[in-house]
Amino acid sequence: MATRITSAGVKPPLYKIVMLGDCGVGKSSLVSRLTNPDRPMNDDISATMGIEFDTQMLDTEHGKVKAQIWDTAGNERFARVLLPTYFRKAKGVILVYDIAKAKSFESLSERWMTQIDDHASSDYLGKLLVGNKSDLDANREVTRKKAENFCREYGMEMLETSAKSGQNVLKAFEKLIGIVHNEALQARSKSKGGIKDINSSGAQNGFKLENEEGDQTISSCGC
């Protein structure tokens, strides 16, 4: 899971980013395609039981940064209980839908954007829309135009990816982390605070279950 990478005394900034979207759109597959690009996609590794994160070094125009990518299940009950923790200190979000499943696209405005508004506390949250399963173009239910309209409405960019072929997967994560890093650099130049390294929060050492309701039930949704 987490790899601790230190280069000649310079610690790259670390940003937490979260994956959001309906069950089955390919969130976990995108993360494993990024972190294990050579592993063939396996339908059986798809179960995300609870919350987990992986870290990955990524290039930006302003140097290397480390992304801590959180992935969760889409089960209703699970989400309600754990979303505050999931979003805590997140600097970026990848909103994923399946281009061959219109419902997964509709969920973004009906559900996931609301969840972001309700739970995201960070001053700035970079967002990227990702239409996954671009290899299923023959079964496409969501046109690019629709997705572009969504981007215009919510002020974000988009990419179509395929966790199956690998198309645009690295590009998508690099794009989001570039947006997040640029924002952090701008914020740093405005204030003396600097880029906060969330290692100090202890998040690197594992997932700590925290929620306002004290309900520590983890759903068995395999998403």
Q: Using CB under 6 A, pick the residue from 13, 17, 20, 48 that binds ligand GDP.
A: 48
Minimum distance from residue 43 beta carbon to ligand GDP (Å): 4
Q: Using CB under 5 A, pick the residue from 28, 68, 132, 219 that binds Mg ion.
A: 28
Which of residues 136 and 170 has its CB atom nearest to ligand GDP in the complex?
Answer: 136
CA–CA gap between residue 85 and residue 73 (Å, rounded): 13
CA–CA gap between residue 41 and residue 15 (Å, rounded): 26
Query: Pattern 31-60, binding to Mg ion, x per CB under 5 A?
Result: -----------------x------------
Structure tokens at 184: 């952090």
Give, for 128, the enclosing helix (H) or strand (E): strand 126-132
Minimum distance from residue 211 beta carbon to ligand GDP (Å): 22
Residue 136 within binding range of ligand GDP, rule CB under 6 A? yes
Minimum distance from residue 58 beta carbon to ligand GDP (Å): 20
CA dihedral of 74, 223, 18, 206, whole degrees rounded to 10:
110
Strand order in 63-72's β-sheet?
51-60, 63-72, 14-20, 90-98, 126-132, 157-160
Q: Helices 27-35 and 169-190 meet at what angle, rounded to 10?
A: 80
Q: Which residue has the tokens 């061959």?
A: 100
3-state secondary structure of 183: helix
Q: Using CB under 6 A, pick the residue from 69, 83, 163, 179 that binds ligand GDP.
A: 163
Minimum distance from residue 96 beta carbon to Mg ion (Å): 10
CA–CA gap between residue 73 and residue 24 (Å, rounded): 9
Window contacting ligand GDP (CB under 6 A); options: 41-49, 79-87, 170-178, 187-195: 41-49
Residues 207 and 87 sit within 8 Å (Cβ to Cβ) = no
29 interface partner picked from Mg ion, ligand GDP, none, CB below 5 to 8 A per type = ligand GDP
Minimum distance from residue 152 beta carbon to ligand GDP (Å): 25
Binding stretches for ligand GDP (CB under 6 A) = 21, 23-29, 41, 43, 46, 48, 132-133, 135-136, 162-164, 223
Residues near Mg ion (CB under 5 A) are: 27-28, 48, 223
